[in-house]
Structure 1
Amino acid sequence: RACRSLNCCMPGKKNMKVKILQWHAVASWTWDAQDETCGICRMAFDGCCPDCKFPGDECPIIWGACNHAFHLHCILKWVNSQTSTPLCPMCRREWQFKG
């Protein structure tokens, strides 16, 4: 059972009050992909594709119906370079955006 006040853990002591003077929050994020790198450019998903300077919303990860993930810019180049029906570069199934 967790203590709700110092009285239960420290008999005879009075409650202590804490005043927060400053708050410095730190956060991090990662993409939720099974692989750590793009199957086309081999760059890490927590980074960005070779066409971008910074990771984030401008360089998102896109999943195919086959569950393979790629940087948006990488898969768009790949799909547009295919002369016939575009195929997933990893499993060679017909490429369809997951959605």
Structure 2
Amino acid sequence: MKVTIKEWNAVATWHWDIPEDEVCGICRVQFDGTCPTCKFPGDDCALVQGRCNHAFHMHCLMTWIDLETSKGLCPMCRQKFEWKDKE
């Protein structure tokens, strides 16, 4: 028996490599969703993680850091926010 494939539609999904129940510490939206600024999840709404292991949507964190009252501190633990190095 010979089979000929005439059409093929691929479907894919993705997710961030973090626990499913994690949410952004600023906007409280799950990471598979988007921050309030973005329309679609993905590279345009990347995740950033600090050395303190707290993670945030990039846009949420940049807005937080721009506030005068934040003083460059992590919104969750109030330590100086430093980017976590890629491993």
Q: TM-score, normalised by structure 2?
A: 0.81
Query: Any unmatched runs of 5+ in structure 2?
Result: none
SS in structure 2 at match of 1:43: coil
Answer yes or no: is the 8 Å Cα contact 2:51–2:83 preserved in 1: yes
Partner of 1:58: 44
Residues of 1 paired with 2:45 and 2:81: CA distance?
19
Answer yes or no: is the 8 Å Cα contact 1:36–1:44 preserved in 2: yes
Note the aligned Cα RMSD (angstroms): 1.8
Bigger Rg, structure 1 or 2: 1
What code does the residue aligned with 1:62 have? V
Q: Output aligned runs, 1:1-20, within 5 Å.
A: 16-20=1-5
Q: Output aligned runs, 1:1-99, within 5 Å.
A: 16-34=1-19, 35-83=21-69, 85-99=71-85
Residues of 1 paired with 2:33 and 2:69: CA distance?
30
Q: TM-score, normalised by structure 1?
A: 0.72
Which structure's relative contact order is higher, taking Cα pairs within 8 Å and 6+ residues apart?
Answer: 2
Answer yes or no: is the 8 Å Cα contact 1:33–1:69 preserved in 2: no
